[in-house]
Amino acid sequence: MSKSTLALIAAGSAVAGASLTALIFSSRPQKVTSVPVPAYPSPPPQPVSAPVSAPLPTPSLTQSPVNPSGVLKYGLTPPIADVNITPSHTSAYNRQTRNPHWVAEHFTPQSLAQHNATRRNSVFHEDVNVPPIFRAKLSDYFRSGYDRGHQVPAADAKWSQEAMDSTFVLSNMCPQVGDGFNRDYWAHFEEFCRTLTKHYPSVRVVTGPLYLPKQYPDGKWRVSYEVVGSPPNVAVPTHFYKVIYGEEAFNSPTGRVALAAFVLPNTEIPNSKSLKDFEVPLEAVERASGLTFADKLPIQRRKRLCTEVNCEILVREFDKTRQQGSALDVGQRNVGQIAQEARKW
């Protein structure tokens, strides 16, 4: 991949956007593509506006013979992002893909030092706050070949059992390749994020899926992704991003913030692969996701995270049996009990 191409992308050209996806996001499982080092980062994106409920104007015939907005009286709504605020995270849910748009979490050295919860007491459960017709279901993942991949990992929420339970809601999940990704490289990446509390007293991470195009032999670019479930219900992302904010002071209106953005393909990645190869300009994630992440953070308060810390993963053997269970996983408390708790989040 050429650095000149990335320069074009940062400049914002349309051609550069297509080139970026070709470079960062190859869909071939056997080849994990790399991305050179980039630019800077912005606040969790705002959900799409709620339905219009105000009275609709009726134009006079002298103004217009038609009233297209009149259909809204029947209940047509714009796209809705279901915002979910839980003890462990805040998220915006995409009803079309049955995956989150984004999931935001916050942890500190103090929160990670507490061990008041265990995964054995948590169960995967559907999000009761999402209308059933738009909900990701446990059955969608059953024998799908994909893990229910936490966007906010359970290990970041050990400070209370309720917080850990809330990470197991399906609106915090996306289908992820298991061996070689969710149970391996992605888990190491999550651990890397936790180690940042050695350098920063406050760390925020926004995580989410991407559905990126690839170039086909005919030279055209197409977006292609699998949908799992019967009937097909949940989209399988082609890639995942993380935007990291390392705050030098907690809740400071003037403190500087170290930023980094990463995009990883949803495929097996060798543990020998450098994490720096997946660092991208924040603008690349914004272009691909349609979100903005730091437009309210002044330039003078921004730093580049990977110039302050070594952006490499620490390869450790994880207990893979903890990473993924069957669709019928049951802990010491049942799904109904946790669903009841979810209604008050």
Q: pLDDT tens digit string along 119-162? A: 999 999 999 999 999 999 999 999 999 999 999 999 999 999 99
Residue 239 annotated as catalytic: no
Q: Which domains does the chain have, with CATH numbers?
A: 37-48+76-342 (3.40.570.10)
Please name the helix (run of DSSP H) or strand (run of DSSP E) that holds residue 186, with its range, or none: helix 185-195
Would you call 14 exposed, middle or buried from its count of C-beta atoms within 10 A (0-12, 13-18, 19+)?
A: exposed
**Strand pairing class (202-210; 239-247):** antiparallel
Secondary structure letter of residue 181 according to DSSP: I
Token pair, residue 259, equals 């930023």
Cis peptide before 231 (omega within 30 of 0): yes
Mean pLDDT to the nearest integer, 296-323: 83
Q: pLDDT tens digit string along 177-202? A: 999 999 999 999 999 999 999 999 99
Q: pLDDT tens digit string along 252-296? A: 889 999 999 999 999 999 999 999 999 999 999 999 999 999 999
Nearest partner of 103 among 90, 116, 120, judged by Cα: 90
What value does the mean pLDDT of the chain take? 84
**Residue 73 pLDDT greater than 50, yes or no:** yes
Q: Of 89, 125, 150, 239, which residue is the catalytic one?
A: 150
The per-residue pLDDT for 251 is 85
CA-angle at 275, arms to 258 and 217, nearest 5°: 120
